[in-house]
Amino acid sequence: MTSAGLALIVGFTALVALLAKPFGLWLFALYEGRRTPLHGALGPLERGFYRLSGIDPDREQGWRAYALNMLMFQLVTTLFTYALLRLQGVLPMNPRGFGGVGPDGAMNTAIAFVTNTNWQWYSGEATLSNLSQMLGLAIHNFLSAATGIAVAFALFRGFARREAKSLGNFWADLTRVTLYLLLPACVLYALFLVVCGVPQTFAGSIDATTLEGARQTIALGPVASQEAIKMLGTNGGGFFNANSAHPFENPTALTNLVEMLSIFVLGAGLTHAFGKAVGNTRQGWAILAAMLALFLAGATVTYWQEAAGNPAFHQLGVAGANMEGKEVRFGAAGSALFAAVTTAASCGAVNAMHDSFTALGGLVPLFNMQLGEIVIGGVGSGIYGFLLYALLAVFIAGLMVGRTPEYVGKKIEAREVKLAVLAIVILPLCILGLTALAVVVPAGLAGPLNRGPHGFSEVLYAFTSAAANNGSAFAGLTAGTPFYNGLLGVAMWLGRFLVIVPVLAIAGSLAAKKHTPATAGSFPTTGGLWIGLLVATILIVGGLTFLPSLALGPVADHLTLLSGKLY
């Protein structure tokens, strides 16, 4: 480890904390439906959309109607994307003449992008046309991110409102987030990337002559526009197979830093927006402090392990950091930090191959996802996932002091706790259950590249990434088979929507409650004790749930490596 590498991690964390408030204020304005500086130019588009679609943005919905509208929208867009991918071969804007995607692959990809997972079993530049990349995938990068923020807004209203029956209007939340936040921010972001050297063209490829005189065909396309929303919306699906390790997606150390910041800024901003919504910004800062504490610890451990290098190489007299699968222009620190960032959020973009990390260096990204990616988390999904743990933590605190738990002025009773536990257990049920199936049937055992604990880690990582809606992979797993495409598609769908529905039910239950003023007996939820309880609850629940699987995978991999056995 070097002082420069540690300074990068600490400085990045500080920048995220500084950006939380300005982004939080913009998000809070959208949450309230107030005018922004962009309304003058974009307001007619919003009103025109409502007129064409017959939507009344002022007509609010209860949690059931909000959930039903959201689910029907996801189902329709999934079917649309499936059809687009299947018919790709006969549709325009296909300069390289790619054929239609197979049924299991199209199903997997449609679910991946609708659920904000962006899992990719394929090589983007060798499988999908420009039309599929833009109309089938990039659009979902906007809509899935906006859906997550809309659900977060609904939960905020559940905490903020008193004796109310409604949580807002799903269509209005979706439209405003897309139109006044994601689209304008990504236009500026894409222009920045173009200036830094990221391509933005409808050309399919270009022929070049190498220094040795050979001819090489280099894939191109509308990369910058997709890269911008891929990061800002915590989507992660790369235009190229190498993702953000590719110089056309992430050419310099500056773009690497900006891309990492863009993964976190909306998730961090939503913590401040939550504090504003409940009338106490200290609540938001407490959540952000707990998130950053978990993130800083994980990023430091990952960098420590990658900087320490491979013990097997050390025994051969080769010292230095573990640079296998990493770009020299980013180094061990930039690669380790990116891995921690992308798995602490539901992004899944990678600038290094996680399969090549050391065993314990790869454990941290895996554990980040197993916690439900609540360490900052995806846009919307991070904050509402974290609030599930907050409800669990205040319930535990209530048991300790012998009174009904309260959180931000609402009594947390049996219904809310049961729903929170239901939402939390969905992830381990999907991850552990499907991993267990994959490692005992021949079709599943055919996927891992490696044997032993590392091969188990490859399978465990895939189902963790899918159920947590991340999308990154231990690249050693051959996942583009009907078996893995099907099971990973199920994991992505359940991991997204079987969490969202209980969250909306909690929001509806809370909105109907009266406000409960804090008293001398109330457990404080803004100080260091609360932050410590939150972190402890998350680590204990996550540790007890996933420690056996981690012991079989990364921990066993590390111990066998120390003993000199390689896989």
- Per-residue H/E/C for 153-185: HHHHHHHHCCCCCCCCCHHHHHHHHHHHHHHHH
Mean pLDDT, rounded, for 385-401: 88
Residue 504 has pLDDT above 80, yes or no: yes
Report if residue 353 sits inside a domain. no
Helix (H) or strand (E) holding 5: helix 3-32
Report if residue 304 sits inside a domain. no
| 145, 235 contact by CB (below 8 A) | yes
Alpha carbon distance 391, 412 (integer Å): 7
Confidence of residue 422 (pLDDT cuts 50, 70, 90): very high
368-392 burial code (b ≥16 CB/10 A, e <16): bbbbbbbbbbbbbbbbbbbbbbbbb
Give the model's pLDDT for residue 378: 84
Give the model's pLDDT for residue 359: 92
Strand boundaries in 189-339, DSSP class E: 205-209, 215-219
Give the model's pLDDT for residue 238: 79
Give the model's pLDDT for residue 214: 84
> Could you give the percent of the chain with pLDDT greater than 70?
99
Give the model's pLDDT for residue 217: 81
Q: Identity (one letter) of the amino acid at 296?
A: L
Alpha carbon distance 233, 255 (integer Å): 16
Report if residue 113 sits inside a domain. no
Residue 288 has pLDDT above 80, yes or no: yes
Give me the phi and psi of 410, to 5 degrees please. Answer: -125, 135
Query: Which is more confidently placed, 61 or 519?
Result: 61
170-214 pLDDT, tens digit each = 999 999 999 999 999 999 999 999 999 999 988 877 888 888 888
Residue 276 has pLDDT above 70, yes or no: yes
Residue 473 has pLDDT above 90, yes or no: no
Q: Rounded mean pLDDT of the chain?
A: 91
Q: Select from 476, 480, 546, 468 the least CA-distant residue to 236.
A: 468
Report if residue 77 sits inside a domain. no
Give the model's pLDDT for residue 400: 75
Report if residue 81 sits inside a domain. no
Question: What's the CA angle centered on 134, arms 129 and 136, to 5 degrees?
Answer: 85
pTM of the predicted model over 0.75? yes
Residue 157 has pLDDT above 90, yes or no: yes
Alpha carbon distance 72, 352 (integer Å): 37
Long-range contacts from 529-534, C-beta under 8 angstroms, 24+ separation:
530/286, 530/393, 531/286, 531/289, 531/290, 531/293, 533/393, 533/396, 533/397, 534/286, 534/287, 534/290, 534/389, 534/390, 534/393
Give the model's pLDDT for residue 208: 82
311-322 pLDDT, tens digit each = 877 777 777 888
Q: Which domain holds residue 412?
A: 382-562
Report if residue 538 sits inside a domain. yes
Long-range contacts from 125-128, C-beta under 8 angstroms, 24+ separation:
125/219, 125/221, 125/239, 125/240, 125/241, 126/98, 126/219, 126/241, 127/98, 127/101, 128/85, 128/88, 128/98, 128/101
Residue 138 has pLDDT above 80, yes or no: yes
115-131 pLDDT, tens digit each = 999 998 888 778 888 89
Q: What one-character DSSP code corresponds to residue 514?
A: P
Cα atoms found within 13 Å of the Cα of residue 160, Cβ hemisphere only: 22
> Could you give the percent of the chain with pLDDT greater than 90?
68
Confidence of residue 374 (pLDDT cuts 50, 70, 90): confident
Report if residue 503 sits inside a domain. yes
Alpha carbon distance 390, 295 (integer Å): 17
Residue 111 has pLDDT above 70, yes or no: yes
SS3 state of residue 215: strand
Alpha carbon distance 330, 304 (integer Å): 16
Length of the chain: 567
Alpha carbon distance 309, 360 (integer Å): 11
Least confident of 163-167, 241-245, 338-342, 358-362: 241-245
Alpha carbon distance 388, 456 (integer Å): 30
Q: Select from 313, 296, 292 the least CA-distant residue to 304.
A: 296
Give the model's pLDDT for residue 279: 92
Residue 520 has pLDDT above 80, yes or no: no
Strands 215-219 and 205-209 come out as antiparallel
Q: What one-character DSSP code corresponds to residue 2?
A: -
Give the model's pLDDT for residue 402: 66
Helix (H) or strand (E) holding 104: helix 103-114
Cα atoms found within 13 Å of the Cα of residue 165, Cβ hemisphere only: 2
Give the model's pLDDT for residue 123: 81
Alpha carbon distance 436, 429 (integer Å): 10
Give the model's pLDDT for residue 204: 74
Report if residue 488 sits inside a domain. yes
SS3 state of residue 98: coil
Alpha carbon distance 116, 469 (integer Å): 6
Number of domains in the chain: 1
